[in-house]
Structure 1
């Protein structure tokens, strides 16, 4: 019998399909396709008809565009032929089973607790940091090769988690040292990864929130990997200013993010990730390159470059 998956990436992609499914079911519940019917409507018009706040709705609509169920022309959305025919309650061919699945999806989400009522769940922090480490490790060794590493002697990894990118830089820069900043509950997990790589003598730690902690100064490189999407635009502007102040003249900022295109409908991973941030954070979302570039320029960074990585993520590098 053939194996159902050829490699770990296959099962990750398969399991992540729950996001696509929930986006479609949410659109069914909110009657997005039915409201659009045969019309072309703006975000504001759809928001008013559904009585839904615009920011969260725009993320849902853009996600549906990325799934090819809606189309977007300038500022107007309209149903694909499939959505108009099968997902629209005004159509004689509407698939009524989907309304039933909206209810059963919620019940299935509690399957673990149904099977084991006393199940307490996994430790969120350790599971999250380990997952991020596993995902990042595949590209971590390539990132130092994508920037000019001359004169990098001291590095700060802001919200560094496992320190996977910091460790990769230090392996390629044997004279350099690093500082990893993260929350007090994360640092013990960070130290395990650092110890496993034999980097205890070269990496020190700062415990605290990157919003409030003192970064210190004198760094040649600051890493902000998978951080900006957690925050609001205003919080990111302040964080980038704080990072700028910690760098030596000529020091670099390295940002790693899923970057939205200018109409916010692709790449699919970045669009769905913005929904993920809507679910998982108070203010976070995916951002466009133009937004991040403006924060960097306003702070004083120059020589700003966008470097796609081929895994739906991109690096943005700026110099003080």
Structure 2
């Protein structure tokens, strides 16, 4: 019997099988606040003492984090690498730890019965299990603020400031704006533009606090409601939306027309969303991160071009689309102009 001829490497399969160890290391280190103690070089004994941990297992955890390129190890001393120092130290305005913990819990819950869901379909929405309450919405907005100001809000504000209409804008709406970081970044780029953050009641309460933190009370206000059913205001020169129109998928045409009507003549609507390509198989980040949600809920990820088509159907004169690299992968930016 001859040995089989093999022309492929199984490395990818092994890496997929053990990929969960990387995420478990990250989540454990966040929960134990390990990164808070590594802004300066520390021995394993010092770290173990700080977290009240078992010395040898603390070393194994730290070595794993070094293997994941989150910390460095040199001459027995561990220290945060720049990515961990920027995004994983608690209390930093760009700390993503709390949000990553929430996402991990949600993903684990949604995919806990993946084989059964594939065979039998979803047992029903897990939204309420995740805490669809005012307190949960407000908490999500708090960690979302750090997520947005970890680079993407600055990137989008720069792009918006470069469009030719920007200097003449007088009033903008951050639709479904959460903590309002995108709106804040754009208002700060303009010498006089006023801004409104629209979202659910408990969320705009967070946005009000964030607006005060950035001392923009005289230039920014909030408006509470559900944009599927409530008025969103009028007289805007710019409406911005980011990763929010998924909540309007059952009502997208009506919401898009509402956005069109709320703009002044010559106004601009800019939307940042995922856009699935390759028959729904790419970009890999959005295919994977929305898998559990889509299996458990009617809400799904947008296909590339879906938002642009809805913009044109609502009466926008022109739509310009482009794909951008943001902090977690590729997203589509659609810029619609009203005649």
2:335 corresponds to 1:317: yes
User: What is the aligned counterpart of 1:190 among 200, 207, 212?
Assistant: 207
Cα pair distance change 1:319/1:146, threshold 3 Å? same
Answer whether contact 2:157 2:186 (CA < 8 A) is retained: yes
Q: Which residue of 2 aligns with 1:157?
A: 174
- The normalised TM-score by structure 2 is 0.61
Does the residue aligned with 2:264 lie in a helix, a strand or coil? strand
2:321 corresponds to 1:305: yes
Cα drift, residue 24 of structure 1: 7.1
Answer whether contact 2:276 2:302 (CA < 8 A) is retained: yes
Cα drift, residue 269 of structure 1: 2.1
Q: How many residue pairs align between the two structures? A: 236
Cα drift, residue 199 of structure 1: 0.8
Cα drift, residue 252 of structure 1: 1.0
Q: Which residue of 1 aligns with 2:272?
A: 256
Cα drift, residue 166 of structure 1: 0.4
**Poorly superposed stretches of 4+, deviation over 4 Å:** 9-25
Does the residue aligned with 2:326 lie in a helix, a strand or coil? coil
Deviations 1:266-300 (A, max 9, x none): 212211343354377x5321101221121011112
* Equivalent residues in 2 for 1:4-153, closer than 5 Å: 4=65, 5-6=70-71, 7=84, 8=87, 26-29=113-116, 50=119, 52=121, 123-138=135-150, 139-147=152-160, 148=163, 149-153=166-170
- The normalised TM-score by structure 1 is 0.64
2:317 corresponds to 1:283: no
Cα drift, residue 187 of structure 1: 2.1
* Equivalent residues in 2 for 1:200-279, closer than 5 Å: 200-232=217-249, 234-278=250-294
Larger deviation, residues 172-181 vs 18-27: 18-27
Which consecutive residues of structure 1, in runs of 5 or more, have no partner in the other structure? Answer: 33-49, 57-108, 110-120
Answer whether contact 1:152 1:220 (CA < 8 A) is retained: yes
Equivalent-residue separation in structure 1 for 2:107 and 2:202 (angstroms): 32
Cα drift, residue 177 of structure 1: 0.2
Cα pair distance change 1:276/1:124, threshold 3 Å? farther
Equivalent-residue separation in structure 2 for 1:19 and 1:202 (angstroms): 36
Answer whether contact 1:262 1:288 (CA < 8 A) is retained: no
Cα drift, residue 307 of structure 1: 3.6
Q: Which residue of 1 aligns with 2:47?
A: none
Deviations 1:46-103 (A, max 9, x none): xxxx4548xx9xxxxxxxxxxxxxxxxxxxxxxxxxxxxxxxxxxxxxxxxxxxxxxx
Answer whether contact 1:155 1:221 (CA < 8 A) is retained: yes
Cα pair distance change 1:21/1:175, threshold 3 Å? closer
User: What is the aligned counterpart of 2:191 among 174, 177, 185?
Assistant: 174
Equivalent-residue separation in structure 1 for 2:135 and 2:305 (angstroms): 37
Answer whether contact 2:321 2:334 (CA < 8 A) is retained: yes
Q: Which residue of 2 aligns with 1:295?
A: 310
Does the residue aligned with 1:265 lie in a helix, a strand or coil? coil
Cα drift, residue 249 of structure 1: 1.8
Equivalent-residue separation in structure 2 for 1:160 and 1:247 (angstroms): 17
Higher RCO by CA contacts (8 Å cutoff, separation 6 or greater): 1
Structure 1 vs Structure 2 CA RMSD = 3.1
Larger deviation, residues 162-171 vs 292-301: 292-301
Does the residue aligned with 1:209 lie in a helix, a strand or coil? coil
Cα drift, residue 124 of structure 1: 1.2
Does the residue aligned with 1:214 lie in a helix, a strand or coil? coil
